Amino acid sequence: MGLLVVLNLSSANAQILAGDVINESLSGQAGDPVRGRAIVASRQTGLCLLCHNGPFPEERFQGNLAPELSASAARLSAPQLRARLVDASRFNPNTIMPAYYSTAHLNRVAPKFAGQTILSGQEIEDVVAFLLTLNKQNQP
């Protein structure tokens, strides 16, 4: 299995994709699952519920285009989740999921957003931490 280094120009941290994982934190810090839940549920930040559904009884409209969030968390480790959030198209070229932490190979980006990632490295870590709480197998 070879290593592929992906540089994110808007971040000082390099992402090292090894196989199907990014082992290192994108921010150098652990994620906060409470902040991660807020990002996932937000209609302005993550927009995850546009396609996914999950344990959000307060959210009336949730997506059905993508897997239920706990189903993804049940089958993927933290490094696998991180890699898919960074750029899901590396695993499925036909995905409609946006690359949340990439600025390369994007289409139709408004000029004011050019060179920016959708989420910061810490926000990615927060979402990963939240997703891991959905899977009881990941609990100590």
**Is the model's pTM score more than 0.75?**
yes
Q: 47 CB contacts (<8 Å, ≥6 apart)?
A: none
Per-residue pLDDT of the chain (140 residues; tens, 9 = 90+): 444 444 443 443 456 877 889 999 999 999 999 999 999 999 999 999 999 999 999 998 999 999 999 988 889 999 999 999 999 999 999 999 999 998 887 778 888 888 889 999 999 999 999 999 998 654 54
CATH number of the domain at 15, please. 1.10.760.10
Whether 123 contacts 27, CB under 8 Å: no
Q: Could you list the residue range(s) of the whole structural domain that residue 68 is in?
A: 3-138
How many distinct structural domains can be found in the chain? Answer: 1
